[in-house]
Each structure stands twice: as C-alpha cells, then as structure tokens.
Amino acid sequence: MINSSLAKKVLSAALKNGGEFGEIFLENTSSNHLLLMDSKIKTINNVVQRGAGIRVFANDRVFYASTSDLSEQGLLSCASMLSEAINSKKISFSIADKKTVLSLDNSYIYPNTVDTSKKIAILKNMANVACGRENIVQFIARYSDKTQNVCIINTEGKFIEDTRIYTRIFCNAVAEKNGLTQTAYAGPGASLGFEYFNNIDLESIVLNTTTLANNLLAAKPCPAGKMPVIIDNNFGGVIFHEACGHSLEASAVAYGKSEFAGKLGQQIASTCVTAVDDGGPEGLWGSIKIDDEGEETGKLVLIENGILKNYMIDKFHSKMMNMPATGSSRRQNYTYAPTSRMRNTYIAAGSDKFEDMVSSMGEGLYAKSLGGGSVNPETGEFNFNVSEGYIVKNGKIQDLVRGASLIGKGSDILMKIDMVSDCLAQDPGMCGSSSGSVPVTVGQPCIRVSEIVVGGEA
Amino acid sequence: MNIRDMINNIISKIKEMGYSALLNISTSNSASLVYNNAKLSKSSINNDVKLNIKAINDKGRAIEVSADNLSQETIEFLLKSIDENLKYIENEDVNILYMGKEKQLSKELSLNEGELSVLKEKIENIHDYILQKDSRIKSVTGSSVSMNSYSSYIANTEGMEKSVSKNIYTAYLGLFVQDNKDEIVLYDFCYSSKLEDLDIEFIADRISKKALDMLYGKSIASGNYKCIIQNDIMCELLHKYSGIFSSENAQNGLSQFKDSEGKPVASKVVNLIDDSLNVEDIFKKEFDDEGHPCQRTELIKDGMLNTLLYNLKTSHKIGKKSTGNAYELGSSVKYNYMYFQPGKKSLQELIECCEEVLLINEVEALHSGANEVSGDFSLPAKGFLYKNGKLVQAVKGITISGNYYDLLKRVEEFANDTYVSHYSLASASCLLSSMSIAGDN
C-alpha cells in the first residue's frame, strides 16, 4: 500500500509545523452484500473503500485529516492541509524500514474469493426453511462479507499491516394475523471467512426467528413497573456493554464524563461480577489481532469480583490519563480518527444454575433476548429493548410478552446483580460512537437483577 | 479529470457493456472542531467522494455498486462486478430511467478557509456565555462546530444530467447541569446554510432553560395519560416511522399501509404533506435521486391516506406516476420534506385545555425501542406534568409505549408551534387522547 520512503515524506509534511506524534492509517476494503426477499435475490451490492487518515498529536489535541486519493500527491496534499492548523514543537523521527505483515492461516476462505452463486445458495436455503411457516408473510435474508486490509505507520516506529475478514447473515421474519403485525430478527456473524457456514446451524436460526415472530402475534403487552429481571446470556450482554462498558472507555473517563471516572480499585459492582474486554479470541466478531493504532490486543479485566481494575484506553487518552494504552483503539474506517472502544466484552461465568435463578425469583420478567439499547456515559442512564421476554410467576416462566424495555442507571444495576449463572455465551453486534460503527461481541451468562424499571403497558 | 467528464466516461463504458445506467458522484469537504469540557480536543478535515452506479439490463433488472475512491482501478473493479453479478438478480420489478433530458447544473459552492476561525470564535464565546447563566450549569461537557460543502451530480444514459451544491454549518452543545439533589445532561444543535445565520446563542438559551427546568424530575405512577408530544419529538417519531409511507415498503409487505390508499388511517385533524419546493434553501430539493422532478404531495388529507410516496420503479409496477421520491438511485423511496399541518392554538393553550396532561419533551432509544414494521414502540422519556394548565412537576424515569399507526388515530389537535427538524421534516406539538406510561408501580 505504501513504502517506508513515502511514509516518511507524508509524516514529515504532516509534522512540518510541529507535533509530538504522527500516524498514517491506510485502508483497502471491499464488501459484498446480498438481499433476498420473497425468496428471490433482490439486490447484490459491491462496495469499495480505499483511503487514508493522517493523525497528529500536538498541544494536547488530535489533528486529523482523511482523503480517498492514495496517490503520492494526494497523501502529501492531505498531510500539508493538516499541518496548516498546527503550531507546536517539532520532533525528529524515523520510520521502520520493514513492514510487519500479519497473515491469516490457510483455514480461512476469503469471502471475496467465493463465487456469488455459493452466497446465493445460503440465502435460498434459508428462504426454503422459512417458506410456509405459520403466519409468516415476509422473510428477508441478507448476506454480508467484508475484507478490510489496513496498514498503520507511526512516528514511534510502527509499520504494520493486517487483514480482517467478516462474515455475517441476517434474517427478518414478518408475521401477520388479523391485522396485527410482529417481527423477529437474528444476525449471527464472525470474524471468519466463508468457512463460517460449515459450523453454523442456519436452519435452527430461521426456525427460531419465524417461530418467535408468529408467537409474538399472540403475546400480550408486557406489564410495566419495577420488578426483578433475569437477562439471558448471548445478546443479553448488551446490558453490560451499554450500561457500563461505554462508561469505562477512556474517551469518557479522561474528561471526567463517566460515572466510573476516578474509581479504579473501588467496588463498583456486586461481588459476583467479573467483567472482561478481550480483543484476542480468534474468530469472534469483535476480535482484532492489532487495534487501529497497530497495538496488540489481548484480554483486559475491567471489573474483578466487583472491583474496578482497568479502563479501555487508546494512545491519545493514555497520555492524558498517564496510563498505558490497552489495544482498544478502533475506528469504522479511514475517515474517522480512532478512539477507545470495546471489542468482545462480557461478564464472566458465575456458579449459579439458571433453574435456581428462576425458581427463587417469585414474580418478574425473563428477558430471553435484548434488541439493543443506548447509554449516556456521563449519567450512566441506559435503556434496552427486550425483543423476547416472558413473565415469571411463582418461580416459573410463563407467557411471552411484547413491547418491554428496561431503563435504569449503570452503577445501580451493577450493584443489584444478585445471581450469575454458569453458562457464558456471546453474540455479535455493531456499536456506534464517535469513531463510527465497529463490530463488537457482547456476552454474559444469565444474570439476575433484583430490581429494574420495566417499560411496557400500564 | 473533472466529475462531469468522469461521469460521461463511465456512462460510455456502461453503454458499451450493453446496459443502461444511472450514476451519482457526491463530494463532501468538511472541517470540524470538537471540544471536551470547553477545551479544544480535536480538529478534523475530511475530503470525501462517493460514486454510486446502478446498471440496468434489457429486462429491467438492476444492480448497484459503489466506492469512495475514483481511481481507474476501482472503477474497473466496479464495472467488472456489474457484469459478473447482474445475471443473478431475480427480482421481477422493472427498473426504468427518467427519460427527461434536462441539464440542470447548479453552481458549485466551496468553503472559505477563514470561516472555521469564525466558527471557533462563536463557539468559544458561547462556552463562557453559558457558564455565566446559572451556577447549576457545571460544564459544557461536549461541543463542536463544523462546516461542510456538499455537491451531488447525477446523470443517466438517457441524457439527464443534474447537480446540486450546498454548504452547511453546524454547532452542537452538550450541557451538564447539577445541584445537590439532581443532575442532568442534555444535548442540542443548530445548523444553517449561511455562516452568519448560525445562531448558537439561541440554542445555548434553549438548552440551558430546558436543562434547568428538567432538574428535580421524578417518576409518575404508571397509567394512561392524556399526552402532548412536543414538536421536536413528533419530528423524531415521524422520521423513525417515515418508511410506512414508502410504496417500496408497502409493496414488500413492510408497511401496514400497503392496501390503505383512499382509506382513513388517522384522526381527521391529521394532514401530512411532502413538499420540498416551497421551503427554505437548506431543505429545498427540486429533483429526486433518479433525476425526476419533486412535487407537492398530500399524503394524508383530513385523516385519509391519499397516496404513498413513489419512485419510478414502484409507480411503474402499479401503473401510477412517480411522486419524485426516489432515494439512493431509486433503490428505495423516501420523503423530501414532510410536515404535519399545524393547528391554531399555542402550546400553552393546548396545555390549558386539559385537566391533566403529560408533555413529553425527550425520548431515547428510537433505534432499538421502535419497530418500523409493527409500529410498536417502548421508549424511555422525560417531560412535564401539568394540571389545570399549571406545571406540577418535571418527569423522568418513565417509558412511553404504544403503536405509531394507533398514535395517528389518537391525535386530538396540533398546536401552532411548528418545529423544523434537521431530518428535513416538520411538526407542531400534538395532543393525544392517551398514552401508556410506565413509571412507579
């Protein structure tokens, strides 16, 4: 993508008027998206993204510029434009002569080498499973893959290239009866190639999705009020992601804009809570070998037995916080400056049994699946949509309900987790923040919260 | 090579491949300054370009490709993928091109380098201004200013060629307000097509008042309440559910208005119009993403659904004319500038005509708590409770839930306080006969 000599020229231009750190992020991404509707292939879309982002730290500020012109002239022009805004002390630097290239082993099948007909076959098989299912009036299946090649060069001697691949399937089922419409959704994915489909049970995913959409037609609105809630594993982990994870990112903590700022070493959660952000596990949707600053990723314990142990920190904020970067710097693409973000975040497994959690609960809500949510890191106020929830009465799971949401404050909820099961599971999602939308995994075992406000019908 | 030459070059190549096509190249040059706690922390400059191509074969089947890089290598890759993949499209909808041959090219705008300094001075003055307003305003937690010069060119193989160019200036403010008993964080922003019209002081006043008024909010008992949805929140909801007026969604079974044209769908006081011709410059739009002229369309007239919104493909499918609402090269349908017709009373008069009414002025989680297909929503909300026209308390820690299709039928009256949203739509505050509220047990 770029050689050492050109990188030196570009960074010299960017640092012409000073700066303590300079970086070039180059990207070459291709993605492929197929949409099936009414059992027919409706659209196929190929997308190409090629460009560069140049970043300088100076005077406690980030200066950032991006361009899609990857010619020498284009890169130099972008760097010069950036430097015009800077007036700072100059540094001397050298660029590594040799680039480190990280590679995937031969077990990965790059999606951009797979014939379109094979991708279509996957969607058609899903449509065949959905066909004729009770009350299903529309079934939409989407296939998406992305191959992202990145190269990072900085004035600290980093010169590294990596290729990331992503494969994902989505299905939406629309059920209709007597004028009432309900929907259900599933979206499994992994940081793997086309071989991902050898190990995934798409038939079960389609059956579960169509069944849920149909069952929701008969579901009553969720009753509203404060009650105990069991949140299931897999995508249930979005509660930790939103309610606490964002508040542990340096982009909030460094400015005191987090309810957990200045609380390292303090108890911020119930003693049964240990929480981790791990960029490393191979194949997980949020895994990256290096972050978008070229730093190695790894396992970061955020909370251990309720005590706050670490924040997720990127290079810029590490200087502000005087703490080391944690391989947590991410961006959607070259048009965004990177910042601290989550990767694969989860609450570690506990020792409780799911059956015991339900039977000792009395009355409340079992949130089997959450549909997404958001948080204000400054106040910790969060909200989640429950996409599949069941009323619990007398310690037994009973009727499916619809329209439930959960609201509260992260720090309160962490202290109110009273049981954690032994069955950790994770699910993929997309996380949006100031550096764009990035793939993350959320996860947890089943957790029980002693009291939470459930939004529903009064 | 300039953009017009590049478009003509690609069109020639696609014609040689035996396809007809619609192309769009958009460019965006922007600069922004981001502040944390009123301290400048990031300066960004982005020069972006995007190419979209929709190629159509002789059966009317279409495929789209896109890139944010205009190198020869990228364009060759895109054209190759069109050839390789168009044969797989099975959808039987017939894609057609706009057959007008107009050349409607606007003057290209650009940004003045000195304007960023003006924006910087404006926002930094506002930081001081806000903090002096009230001791409970503890910080401007986040703020930013940006300027963006945007141009979009579309052309097709039938000879249509049009372009539009706009400058947009934006300012954003986030406030942290706190006293011993409560705290609140609120955000607000403003935008303008002219730098001199960007009124940051206005939003500073608006957000400060709102944040201070909303302090000490508490939950209310769960139940059904008579409710006023504030104008800006009505815009948020209309934006979220705008897809229900898309003929594309209706034809695909994703809107419950699929067989509702000519039928009552809302209370009789509801009038919904799409018209981007008679609006201020920043929202003005004379042609859609297929090059088809935009028009004034009455979607809902006195509660009756007159028509959905159409592009060339969806209108051709049922023998109608396009309403000029093609979006993203006609792959979907979207409003241009949609608004609810306002009523005659002021918001205060609307409040005073209710014995008890809950005014909702904040909702969150529209991305996850509102389902565009079923119409169901369950959203965290904040607001104010009034009795006999008098403010009783600020309200927080509640959720509102219901169904948007049903909400349209529960409208009793619109106020006259039309708010224009950056989403290119507008609404006045709206009195609903009831809303389900989850709060205290």
**Residue-wise pLDDT tens digits, A306-325:** 999 999 999 999 999 999 99
* A41, A182, A257: residue with CB nearest B90: A41
| Distance from C-alpha of B201 to C-alpha of B207, rounded to nearest angstrom | 10
- What three-state secondary structure class fits B380? strand
Residue A271 contacts B, CB cutoff 8 Å: no
**Nearest Cα residue in chain B from A377:** B185
Identify from B6, B46, B236 which residue to disrupt to test chain A contact, counting A C-beta atoms within 10 A and taking the largest count. Answer: B46
Which residues in chain B are contacts of A403 at CB distance < 8 A?
A: 376-378, 401
Instruction: Calculate how close chain A gets to B438, using CA atoms only, in Å.
Output: 5
Q: What is the CA radius of gyration of chain B?
A: 24
Confidence of residue A376 (pLDDT cuts 50, 70, 90): confident
Q: State chain B's mean pLDDT as an integer.
A: 95
Residue A120 contacts B, CB cutoff 8 Å: yes
Q: State chain A's mean pLDDT as an integer.
A: 94
The pLDDT score that the predictor gives to residue B413 is: 98
Residue B188 CB neighbour total at 10 angstroms: 19
The pLDDT score that the predictor gives to residue B263 is: 98
**Nearest Cα residue in chain A from B66:** A47
What's the CA angle centered on B373, arms A136 and A231, to 5 degrees? 85
- What three-state secondary structure class fits B335? coil
* A64, A66, A457: residue with CB nearest B42: A64
Cβ contact A385:A455 at 8 Å: no
| Average of per-residue pLDDT across A421-428 | 94
pLDDT lower than 50: segments of chain B:
none
Cβ contact B345:B416 at 8 Å: yes
E strand or H helix at A276, and its extent? strand A275-278
Residue B89 contacts A, CB cutoff 8 Å: yes
* A37, A82, A458: residue with CB nearest B438: A458
Residue A31 contacts B, CB cutoff 8 Å: no
Query: Which ipTM was obtained for this model?
Result: 0.91
Which residues in chain B are contacts of A67 at CB distance < 8 A?
A: 47
Confidence of residue A226 (pLDDT cuts 50, 70, 90): confident
Q: What's the DSSP call for residue A360?
A: T
Helix axes A4-14, A72-83, angle to 10 degrees: 30
- A43 contacts B90? CB cut-off 8 A: no
- A373 contacts B42? CB cut-off 8 A: no
- B40 contacts A456? CB cut-off 8 A: no
Distances (CA, A) of A230 to A11, A355, B172: 52, 11, 38
Instruction: Calculate how close chain A gets to B28, using CA atoms only, in Å.
Output: 11
Which residues in chain B are contacts of A50 at CB distance < 8 A?
A: 67-69, 71, 74
- What three-state secondary structure class fits B298? strand
**Residue-wise pLDDT tens digits, A88-101:** 999 999 999 899 99
Residue B193 contacts A, CB cutoff 8 Å: no
The pLDDT score that the predictor gives to residue B441 is: 66
Confidence of residue A411 (pLDDT cuts 50, 70, 90): confident
Half-sphere exposure of B251 (CA within 13 A, CB side): 18
pTM > 0.90: yes
Burial of B306 (0-12, 13-18, 19+ CB in 10 A): middle
Residue B385 contacts A, CB cutoff 8 Å: no
**Nearest Cα residue in chain B from A403:** B378
Cβ contact B164:B106 at 8 Å: yes
Confidence of residue A453 (pLDDT cuts 50, 70, 90): confident
Residue B367 contacts A, CB cutoff 8 Å: yes
The pLDDT score that the predictor gives to residue B108 is: 84
E-state strands within B58-160 = 62-67, 103-104, 137-156
The pLDDT score that the predictor gives to residue B397 is: 87
Residue B176 contacts A, CB cutoff 8 Å: yes
Half-sphere exposure of B353 (CA within 13 A, CB side): 16
- A43 contacts B438? CB cut-off 8 A: no
Instruction: Calculate how close chain B gets to A351, using CA atoms only, in Å.
Output: 31
Q: What's the DSSP call for residue A243?
A: I
Statement: residue A1 has pLDDT above 80: no
Residue B38 contacts A, CB cutoff 8 Å: no
**Residue-wise pLDDT tens digits, A251-306:** 999 999 998 999 999 999 999 999 999 998 999 999 999 999 999 999 999 999 99
Distances (CA, A) of B35 to A313, B32, B176, B364: 19, 10, 14, 24
- B374 contacts A183? CB cut-off 8 A: yes
Identify from B43, B78, B251, B314 which residue to disrupt to test chain A contact, counting A C-beta atoms within 10 A and taking the largest count. Answer: B43
Instruction: Calculate how close chain A gets to B63, using CA atoms only, in Å.
Output: 6
| Distance from C-alpha of B126 to C-alpha of B33, rounded to nearest angstrom | 14
| Distance from C-alpha of B127 to C-alpha of B141, rounded to nearest angstrom | 10
Confidence of residue A71 (pLDDT cuts 50, 70, 90): very high
Q: What's the DSSP call for residue A457?
A: B
Statement: residue A196 has pLDDT above 90: yes
| Distance from C-alpha of B378 to C-alpha of B367, rounded to nearest angstrom | 11
- B68 contacts A50? CB cut-off 8 A: yes
The pLDDT score that the predictor gives to residue A374 is: 81
Q: Name residues 424-453 of chain A within 8 A of B (Cβ).
A: 453
- A51 contacts B43? CB cut-off 8 A: no
* A255, A372, A455: residue with CB nearest B399: A455
Query: Considering all CA atoms of chain A, what is the largest pairwise distance in Å, rounded to the nearest integer?
Result: 73
